Amino acid sequence: MKDGLQHILFDLDGTLTDPKEGITKSVEYALNQFSIEVEHPDLLTPYIGPPLFDSFVEIQGFTPEAAAQAVEYYRERYRTLGMFENQVIPGIPALLESLRDKGFTLYVATSKPIVFAEQILRHYELDGYFTYAAGSNLDGTRSKKREVIQHVLDECNVPAAQALMIGDREHDIIGAKACVVASMGVLFGYGSEEELSAAGADTIAHTVEEVGDIIVRLQQNELNR
């Protein structure tokens, strides 16, 4: 494994945890400040995953100025309530422990502001599994997944050829490809198989257990070359 797959990067929202309630309710709160009513928070699940600023522009059609204000409104609720309206996806702790026991080094690469990501990882006792966690900055910089992944590679001296990015949305896959990192899409989050395949995911896992199986298989294939 020394010269093959050794470093596993995980997205946070929709991959390690299910943040649906907190994110959708906080987006709804932000939209309400613009006198926009939402029929049901479930309609806001497309906001889960991509950078929020981009989503307010692309999904809601906001101007950059309005999108920036919407992000501030979102954070008003998210930092006090929404962050903890969340739950660890079943099977994730066992997967992380198994991978770590097999000698893999684990990282978090999220578009979420790192100050929130670190609190969530600590709150749900996931932080101990990871060597390093990277996210965006509150000022909006380093919000693209490509930038976050590259930050992990640079800060931790991780060779791209030895890394795998795991995430549930196309942004995770596109970001990995931009960094010449292998990618795995997961279907227990908020992206569809069509979305992940179209983005160019190298592999796709339907369940948490399958994530571990695929990683072991990739490792064995490299050892048998």
- Cα 180 to Cα 11: distance, rounded to the nearest angstrom: 17
Which residue in 3, 11, 13, 54 is the catalytic one?
11
Instruction: Specify whether 154 is catalytic.
Output: no
- Cα 67 to Cα 58: distance, rounded to the nearest angstrom: 10
Judged by phi (left if over 0) then psi (alpha if -120 to 50, else beta), residue 140 lies in left
45 burial type by CB count under 10 A (0-12 exposed, 13-18 middle, 19+ buried): middle
At how many degrees (to 10) do helices 64-78 and 20-32 cross?
Answer: 130
Nearby residues of 7 by Cβ (< 8 Å), 6 or more positions away: 104, 105, 107, 156, 158, 159, 162, 163, 164
DSSP output for 17-45:
EE-HHHHHHHHHHHHHTTT---S-GGGGG
Longest CA–CA span in the chain (Å) reads 60
| Phi, psi angles (nearest 5°) of residue 29 | -60, -45
Q: What is the DSSP letter of 14?
A: T
Active site residues: 11
